[in-house]
């Protein structure tokens, strides 16, 4: 291949075209050292430096939001043949730990670590148009008189925020440098394009790397290891000026005013290097002898690469792809290539593409029109055979059907889904839903890491018999960092076959769509209808067809930010992304909180294959999901009712706290004395209100009584109930003591135990059987 490349090549080219970082070999961060773990020396040599990595991330991403695209691939000259590996690290306070863990793994594997110096919105995004924030201007000085170039830049633009030795050396043995200037705020939109233009202009004027005109151009990370030709050097920060920041307009003016270095002429691009558009390649005739803008070899390679990718992704059959290649050969190559040479080139490009992108998703030839099943009205009316059993009834998930469960982040969607799947795997009822038998369930989830996944499963409060039946029929993946694309689909299919070697699964669950979404070659997101249909048909349905055509599909999905009233009016309009999703699934369920201050959730279900279900009010109580009785809900004045409830709770807390505080000051109070002292204070209201609240607290067991307290230094009381006592109450004696652990002088206190309590049934004052045991009678509190 020439530098021009072919259209199925996902590696960065030496031009300014907007190519993807290859989605190959996504690294599982769960398998790398975590924050706080030691960073071992790699092979006894150079190890990554987390402090330098953290300093670099602060300069380049400290003001940015989103994900940092990170790429690792083997440095040249080591005799290693490893595919690139990509991760996307959130630009937050954990970024340094995550990237350091990845750098340790990469150094051990002989890989360099690069980042795109800008953030993207979603995993899998790495093209120039995906970069939405960038807060630095960088120039790569990789040839010539490095010191003179740096001096020229400092003289005209000022000292950079960060100066990095990239680990490489020029032909003269001088260290190659990266110079970074941090902006005062992230650049977006037109400012982002301005930053990229500045990077190119600076490179033109001092002889730097001009590829940084492109927003997606990756660059080495300081603190990681440079290993070209087997020589290990750490990419090192030479100078760091954390207070140096520049305003974009001022810096742009300085770049414009900066002259080119004396005696330096900016290089011009060689003719024919820039790659033309695909439409031009497929429609423009090209003659032998390099008479045109590109050669026959370049045109044929690009066209073959395009059709090879179409076949690899399952969008064409092998025969259709070969026919398209032959048609291009006949239409555009003058003279055309012999078929045997065309076949050799096609086979070579196919082998290269499979090697880089993994197993293909091959499609069988389309069914002939005669193979389409059609039935008369009479035949359908006369067919009285039994209906197939629901996988999850009633009609929530049918054989070959698709259920989409939507919910806002943190609403409990994954927790609810796990409970549903455990019960389905055990063949046990869950809420109103039932499974006819224990089902084989494969749960492909991309949110919860292994240790937190096992913790969540262990916290489920389930019948031991249900857990026993589901132990081997529910298979769950830990958090995956991959896409369900032409590489991911065969990998997942292989994992499902390995999990259920004897029989295909009954349910395949994907949680969530967003983390595994692949919108096809156009790279569109989940908001595009065509991309959503491509994902559902060519990824999700293709996966099911490969392993279990009759299996039910469950997809977990996020919802949009709508008002509570909009969600109540039509819950399913809140599903995030393209509207094509709602038209495609056979059943949908939306889980949402009608009141963010309450724990209860509403579950709305719509069915294509059956009547809709009444909305359910559910909550997680004692580690298990339960359905609540809606008859106990307020119908009118819900907001004011909740406020009154909250006010009563506040008063209860204040009263209990004041009783304890009074005791610490050495004073025990009767009901009347307490009500008189705190009348119209602390928002407690009048004496009658306070006495009423104390009575309620006594009935619930939060307040008990001490009839005789003269042994505690308190006066005799004529109150029929005695002094008020709350749990763990301490009475100040007015003396001081020494803390045996700290040696500190503290007030001396004694415990106050109750002697009587108020019976919640008869209201009679009864003696406490065991003062050491505090018993509550509040039905809303756990025993």
| String of DSSP letters for 679-728 | TTSTT--SHHHHHHHHHHHHHHTSEEEES--GGGTPPP---SS-EEEETT
Q: Using 50, 70 and 90 to split pLDDT, how confident is the model at 360?
A: confident
Higher pLDDT, 478 or 460: 478
How large a percentage of the chain has pLDDT more than 90? 31
pTM of full prediction above 0.75: no
Mean pLDDT, the chain, integer: 82
Sign of the alpha-carbon dihedral angle for 126, 127, 133, 135: positive
Contact 487, 314 (CB under 8 A): no
Whether 30 has a pLDDT exceeding 80, the answer reads: no
Contact 518, 537 (CB under 8 A): no
Residue 763 preceded by cis peptide, ω within 30 = no
Q: Using 50, 70 and 90 to split pLDDT, how confident is the model at 29?
A: very low
Instruction: Give residue 151's pLDDT.
Output: 92
What the block records as the tokens of 11 is: 């590696």
How far lies 548's CA from each of 192, 396, 401, 440, in Å?
A: 47, 19, 12, 11
- Each residue of 559-596: pLDDT tens digit? 887 777 777 778 888 888 778 888 889 999 998 888 77
Cα pseudo-dihedral 318, 320, 322, 327, rounded to 10:
-170
What span, in angstroms and rounded, lies between the C-alpha atoms of 686 and 278? 82
- Each residue of 106-163: pLDDT tens digit? 888 878 899 999 999 998 888 888 999 999 999 999 888 899 999 999 999 999 999 9
Whether 25 has a pLDDT exceeding 50, the answer reads: no
pLDDT, mean of residues 29-41? 38
Whether 1 has a pLDDT exceeding 50, the answer reads: no
Q: Which helix (H) or strand (E) holds 103?
A: helix 95-109
- Could you tell me how far CA 69 lies from the centroid of its own chain? 14
Whether 37 has a pLDDT exceeding 60, the answer reads: no
Contact 238, 165 (CB under 8 A): yes
b/e per residue 413-431 (b: at least 16 CB within 10 A): bbbbbbbbbbbbbbbbebe
Query: Which residues, 6 or more positions from 367, have their beta carbon under 8 angstroms from its beta carbon?
Result: none
- Each residue of 226-274: pLDDT tens digit? 877 777 788 999 999 999 999 998 999 899 888 888 776 554 444 434 5
Contact 521, 313 (CB under 8 A): yes
8 DSSP assignment: T
What the block records as the tokens of 664 is: 């610490």
How far lies 688's CA from each of 63, 75, 677, 679, 685, in Å?
A: 57, 81, 12, 9, 8
What span, in angstroms and rounded, lies between the C-alpha atoms of 20 and 131? 12
Q: What angle do CA 214, 95, 84 make, to 5 degrees?
A: 55
Helix axes 248-257, 146-157, angle to 10 degrees: 120
Instruction: Give residue 273's pLDDT.
Output: 42
């Amino acid at each position: 291949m020439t530098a021009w490349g072919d259209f199925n090549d996902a590696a960065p080219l030496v031009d300014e075209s907007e190519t993807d970082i290859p989605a190959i070999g996504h690294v599982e961060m769960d398998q790398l050292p975590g924050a706080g773990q030691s960073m071992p020396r790699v092979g006894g040599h150079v190890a990554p430096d987390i402090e330098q990595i953290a300093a670099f991330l602060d300069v380049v991403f400290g003001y940015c939001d989103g994900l940092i695209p990170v790429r690792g691939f083997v440095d040249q000259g080591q005799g290693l043949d490893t595919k690139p590996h990509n991760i996307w690290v959130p630009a937050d306070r954990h970024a340094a730990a995550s990237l350091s863990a990845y750098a340790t793994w990469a150094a051990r594997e002989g890989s360099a670590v690069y980042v795109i110096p800008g953030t993207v919105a979603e995993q899998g995004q790495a093209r120039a148009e995906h970069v939405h924030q960038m807060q630095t201007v960088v120039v790569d000085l990789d040839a010539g008189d490095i010191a003179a170039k740096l001096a020229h830049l400092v003289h005209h633009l000022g000292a950079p925020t960060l100066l990095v030795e990239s680990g490489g050396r020029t032909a003269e043995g001088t260290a190659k440098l990266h110079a970074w200037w941090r902006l005062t705020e992230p650049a977006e939109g037109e400012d982002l394009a301005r930053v990229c233009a500045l990077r190119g202009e600076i490179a033109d004027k001092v002889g730097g790397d001009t590829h940084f005109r492109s927003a997606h151009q990756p660059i080495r990370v300081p603190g990681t290891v440079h290993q070209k030709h087997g020589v290990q050097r750490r990419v090192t920060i030479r100078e760091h000026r954390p207070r140096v920041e520049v305003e974009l307009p001022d810096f742009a003016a300085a770049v414009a005013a900066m002259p080119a270095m004396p005696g330096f002429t900016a290089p011009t691009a060689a003719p024919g290097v820039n790659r033309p558009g695909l439409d031009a390649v497929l429609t423009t005739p090209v003659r032998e002898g390099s008479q045109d803008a590109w050669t026959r070899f370049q045109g044929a390679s690009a066209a073959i690469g395009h059709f090879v990718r179409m076949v690899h992704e399952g969008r064409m059959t092998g025969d259709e792809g070969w026919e398209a290649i032959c048609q291009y050969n006949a239409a555009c190559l003058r003279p055309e290539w012999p078929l045997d040479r065309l076949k050799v080139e096609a086979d070579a490009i196919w082998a290269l593409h499979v090697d880089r992108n993994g197993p293909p998703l091959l499609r069988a030839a389309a069914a002939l029109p005669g193979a389409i099943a059609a039935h008369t009205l009479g035949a359908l009316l006369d067919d009285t055979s039994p209906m197939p059993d629901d996988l999850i009834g009633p009609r929530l998930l049918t054989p070959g059907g698709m259920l989409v469960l939507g919910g806002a982040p943190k609403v409990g969607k994954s927790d609810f889904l796990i409970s549903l799947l455990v019960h389905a795997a055990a063949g046990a009822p869950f809420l109103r839903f039932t499974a006819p038998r224990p089902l084989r369930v494969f749960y492909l989830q991309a949110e919860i890491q292994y240790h937190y996944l096992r913790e969540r499963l262990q916290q489920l409060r389930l019948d031991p018999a249900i857990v026993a039946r589901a132990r081997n029929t529910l298979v769950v993946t830990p958090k995956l960092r991959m896409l369900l694309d032409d590489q991911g689909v065969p990998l997942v299919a292989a994992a499902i076959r390995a999990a259920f070697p004897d029989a295909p699964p009954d349910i395949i669950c994907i949680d969530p769509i967003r983390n595994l979404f692949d919108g096809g070659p156009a790279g569109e997101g989940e908001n595009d209808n065509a991309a959503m249909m491509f994902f559902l048909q060519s990824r999700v349905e293709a996966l099911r067809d490969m392993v279990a055509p009759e299996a039910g599909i469950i997809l977990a999905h996020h919802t949009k930010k709508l008002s509570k009233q909009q969600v109540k009016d039509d819950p399913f309009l809140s599903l995030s992304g393209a509207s094509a999703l709602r038209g495609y699934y056979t059943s949908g369920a939306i889980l949402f909180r009608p009141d963010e201050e309450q724990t209860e959730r509403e579950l709305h279900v719509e069915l294509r294959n059956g009547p809709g279900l009444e909305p359910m009010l559910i909550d997680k109580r004692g580690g298990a999901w339960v359905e609540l009785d809606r008859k106990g809900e307020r119908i009118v004045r819900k907001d004011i009712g909740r406020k009154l409830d909250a006010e009563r709770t506040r008063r209860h807390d204040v009263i209990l706290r004041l009783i304890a505080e009074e005791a610490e000051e050495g004073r025990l109070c009767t009901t009347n004395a307490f009500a008189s002292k705190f009348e119209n204070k602390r928002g407690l209201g009048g004496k009658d209100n306070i006495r009423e609240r104390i009575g309620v607290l006594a009935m619930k067991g939060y307040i008990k009584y001490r009839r005789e307290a003269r042994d505690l230094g308190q006066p005799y009381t004529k109150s029929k109930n005695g002094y008020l006592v709350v749990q763990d109450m301490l009475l100040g004696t007015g003396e001081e003591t020494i803390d045996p652990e700290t040696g500190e002088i503290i007030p001396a206190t004694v415990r106050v135990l109750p002697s009587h309590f108020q019976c919640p049934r008869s209201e009679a004052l009864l003696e406490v059987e065991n003062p050491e045991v505090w018993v509550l009678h509040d039905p809303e509190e756990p025993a």
